[in-house]
């Protein structure tokens, strides 16, 4: 692993990922940390006083780091962190010191390609990868998130990238080329978001017909409808004791993030010419649930509540 790594964006995902990275580094290594909110950076530096170093800007962090990881909310944040001419990573690039830059945020593919192109113009030796993650906050804490890597399987950096990413997670899957890690992630979240709505509706209709929720879930698990949302993240409270739905929809994957990801997936589908019949109505459900007082800020499976599902 490199001796000097930068981590930008120590939010719900980034902080536990940086924590697992810090635990796996050999003595003498450093993690340079930056976030616009100081509290998580200060907490991280207090937890790892020998390893963590606080930086005031993305530029300062990049000047001190061989490898930079970013975990930011949306495309606009990624664009400014990488491309701002004064405070951004691009201002730290020089042709003499090549850098490995890895963006783990879930953003649109066009922004990712734009950022990569501008970084390469500034410094052709720079390597920039999209590597969004799946597995949620719990996966980030447990070090089990999967990385979808935007490169082909013959990329010479793969062994190095895999070693680095596996210090924070499990599977690393090369998806074929630049921005295709993001295309894979958006396709994945589209599928799981739409399944969540279908599962909510199917559970509610069966329960209203008189079937017990647990019996219904066991029917789906044994039949052709079997899927991980019903089995592990069932949106009906009480069916899966460990699921956010059984804990007042607290924890998990915020409904606003699902709205963002379905929106990005619908845009990607439109640009690619995919018919995407369920996307627009699915996006409408997540957009409305994101605004609803009894749903917003809760786990995305709260769409069951938004759709009028029974909660015993
Ligand atoms: P978050 O909002 O908790 O964290 C983002 C962090 O980035 C915050 O600490 C914020 O202060 C910081 N930040 C924002 N702009 C910045 C800037 N210009 N410079 C430096 N720091 C800046 O978000 P999160 O839940 O950690 O998600 C991050 C990304 O990971 C998103 O794209 C999200 O879709 C994706 N993701 C989230 C989950 C999840 O379960 N939360 C799961 C998989 C993927």
Q: Using a 6 Å cutoff on CB, does residue 12 contact ligand 1?
A: yes
Ligand 1 neighbourhood includes 6 CB (under 6 angstroms):
no
Q: Using CA atoms, how far apart are residues 310 and 299, in angstroms rounded to an integer?
A: 17
Nearest residue CA, atom 42 of ligand 1? 136
Shortest-distance atom of ligand 1 to CA 145: 43
Closest CA relative to residue 181, chosen from 118, 104, 233, 255: 104
Q: How far is the CA of 77 from the centre of ligand 1 (A)?
A: 9
Q: Provide the terminal-to-terminal Cα distance of the chain, rounded to the nearest Å.
A: 50
Nearest residue to 93 via CA among 60, 118, 62: 62
Give SS3 for 135.
coil
The residue whose CA has the least distance to atom 34 of ligand 1 is 106
CATH architecture for the domain at 183-306: Orthogonal Bundle (1.10)
Q: Where are the domains of the chain?
A: 4-177, 183-306
Task: Choose one of 7, 8, 10, 11 to mutate for the ligand 1 pocket test, by most ligand atoms within 8 angstroms of C-beta.
Answer: 11
**14, 188, 196, 290: which to mutate for ligand 1, most atoms within 8 A of CB?**
14
Assess whether the region 4-177 and the region 183-306 belong to the same CATH fold.
no
Q: What is the pLDDT of residue 276?
A: 87
Tell me, in angstroms, the distance from the centre of ligand 1 to residue 8's CA.
Answer: 9
Q: Is 71 in the pocket of ligand 1 (CB under 6 A)?
A: yes
Tell the residue nearest (CA) to atom 21 of ligand 1. Answer: 35
From 7, 9, 188, the mutation candidate for ligand 1 (largest count of ligand atoms within 8 A of CB) is 9
Expressed in angstroms and rounded, the spacing between residue 104 Cα and the centre of ligand 1 is 9
199 lines ligand 1 (CB under 6 A): no
Please compute, for residue 53, the number of CA atoms within 13 A of its CA located in the half-sphere on the CB side. Answer: 19
Report the CATH number of the 4-177 domain. 3.40.50.720
Q: Residues, the chain, total?
A: 312
In tens digits, what is the pLDDT along the chain, a chain of 312 residues?
889 999 999 999 999 999 999 999 999 999 999 999 999 999 999 999 999 999 999 999 999 999 999 999 999 999 999 999 999 999 999 866 779 999 999 999 999 999 999 999 999 999 999 999 999 888 999 999 999 999 999 999 999 999 999 999 999 999 999 999 999 999 999 999 999 999 999 999 999 999 999 999 999 999 999 999 999 999 999 999 999 999 999 988 999 999 999 999 999 999 999 988 999 999 999 999 999 999 999 999 999 999 999 987
Q: What are phi and psi of 225, to 5 degrees?
A: -85, 5
Let me know if 116 is a catalytic residue. Answer: no
Backbone angles phi, psi at 296, to 5 degrees: -65, 150
> What is d(CA 255, CA 44) in angstroms, rounded to the nearest whole number?
27
Where helices occur in the chain by DSSP H, the ranges are 14-24, 38-47, 58-64, 75-83, 109-122, 136-142, 158-166, 180-208, 213-222, 228-232, 255-272, 277-291, 303-306
């Amino acid at each position: 692993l490199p001796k000097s790594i930068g981590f930008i964006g120590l939010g719900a995902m980034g902080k536990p990922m940086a924590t697992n990275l810090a635990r796996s580094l050999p003595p003498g290594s450093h993690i340079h940390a930056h976030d616009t909110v100081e509290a998580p950076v200060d907490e991280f530096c207090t937890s790892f006083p020998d390893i963590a170093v606080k930086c005031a800007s993305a530029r300062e962090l990049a000047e001190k780091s061989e490898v930079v990881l970013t975990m930011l909310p949306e495309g606009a944040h990624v664009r400014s962190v990488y491309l701002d001419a004064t405070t951004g990573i691009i201002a730290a690039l020089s042709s003499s010191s090549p850098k490995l830059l890895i963006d783990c945020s879930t953003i649109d593919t066009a922004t990712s390609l734009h950022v990569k192109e501008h970084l390469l113009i500034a410094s052709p030796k720079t390597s920039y990868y999209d590597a969004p993650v799946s597995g949620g906050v719990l996966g980030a804490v447990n070090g089990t998130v999967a990385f979808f890597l935007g490169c082909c399987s013959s990329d010479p950096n793969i062994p190095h990238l895999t070693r680095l990413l596996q210090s924070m997670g499990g599977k690393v899957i090369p998806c074929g080329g630049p921005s295709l890690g993001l295309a894979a992630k958006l396709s994945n979240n589209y599928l799981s978001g739409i399944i969540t709505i279908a599962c909510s509706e199917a559970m509610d209709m069966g329960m209203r017909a008189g079937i017990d929720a647990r019996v219904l879930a066991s029917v789906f698990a044994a039949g052709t409808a079997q899927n991980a949302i019903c089995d592990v993240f069932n949106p009906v409270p009480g069916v899966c004791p460990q699921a956010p739905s059984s804990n007042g929809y607290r924890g998990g994957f915020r409904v606003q993030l699902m709205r963002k990801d379905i929106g990005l997936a619908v845009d990607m589908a439109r640009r690619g010419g995919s018919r995407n019949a369920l996307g627009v109505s699915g996006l409408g459900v997540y957009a409305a649930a994101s605004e609803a007082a009894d749903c917003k800020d809760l786990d995305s499976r709260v769409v069951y509540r938004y759709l009028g599902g029974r909660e015993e």
